[in-house]
């Protein structure tokens, strides 16, 4: 049996902003240089985070993103309206904080890139309130969920600004739980 072997074109990336870029071709291969680029863009972005969209359109049924977050990141706990999701750590480490619906119960799930004895992938099979606490200077991970994206539900019991006052104290408490794992 013989085959015609066709080499794929290099992965093309379209930059929307310092925070968002998108892969545009029908095939995509991620390499270390691209991970470095996502971190570099995050460092110069206003919110110090960046993502590379691997799905080509918002209406696609599968959404995947390469995301870089700095150590001091803490988003408002939220859940996706449509599905659970997966987080696969490519570089660094993080703790996915999973909350009960009323916010009274917290399950920390630690993951790291290539860690001996540690998970590198966390899967939420159902839609839970969650947030990510980076444990390294920058964590880079693949987030996968079902599309099309129709929005998030934010936890009604959570502060809305994690950088000041009550929100900062909430984020610091989460970081302390993550560090104790």
pLDDT in tens, 108-166: 999 999 877 889 999 999 999 999 999 999 999 999 998 877 778 999 999 998 889 99
Q: Which two tokens stand for residue 48?
A: 């110090």
Q: Which two tokens stand for residue 160?
A: 């809305």
| Structure-derived torsion over alpha carbons of residues 180, 171, 76, 106, reported in degrees to the nearest 10 | 30
Show Cβ contacts of residue 141 under 8 Å, excluding neighbours closer than 6 positions: 66, 67, 87, 88, 89, 90, 94, 111, 132
User: Domain limits of the chain?
Assistant: 13-179
Q: Read off the pTM.
A: 0.92
CATH annotation of 13-179: 2.60.120.10
Asked whether 155 and 103 are in contact (CB, 8 A), the reply is yes
């Amino acid at each position: 049996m013989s085959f015609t072997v066709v080499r794929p074109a290099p992965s093309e990336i379209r930059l929307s902003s310092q925070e968002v870029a998108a892969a545009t071709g029908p095939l995509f291969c991620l390499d270390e240089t691209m991970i470095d680029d996502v971190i570099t863009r995050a460092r110069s972005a206003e919110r110090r985070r960046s993502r590379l969209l691997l799905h080509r359109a918002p209406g696609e049924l599968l959404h995947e993103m390469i995301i870089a977050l700095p150590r001091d990141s803490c988003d408002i706990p939220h859940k996706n309206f449509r599905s659970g999701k997966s987080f696969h750590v490519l570089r660094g480490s993080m703790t996915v904080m999973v909350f009960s619906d009323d916010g009274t119960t917290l399950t920390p799930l630690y993951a790291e890139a290539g860690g001996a004895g540690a998970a590198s992938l966390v899967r939420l099979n159902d839609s839970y309130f969650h947030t990510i606490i980076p444990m390294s200077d920058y964590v880079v991970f693949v987030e996968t969920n079902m599309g099309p994206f129709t929005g998030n539900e934010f936890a009604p019991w959570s502060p809305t600004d994690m950088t000041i006052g009550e929100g900062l104290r909430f984020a610091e408490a989460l970081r302390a739980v993550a560090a104790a794992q």
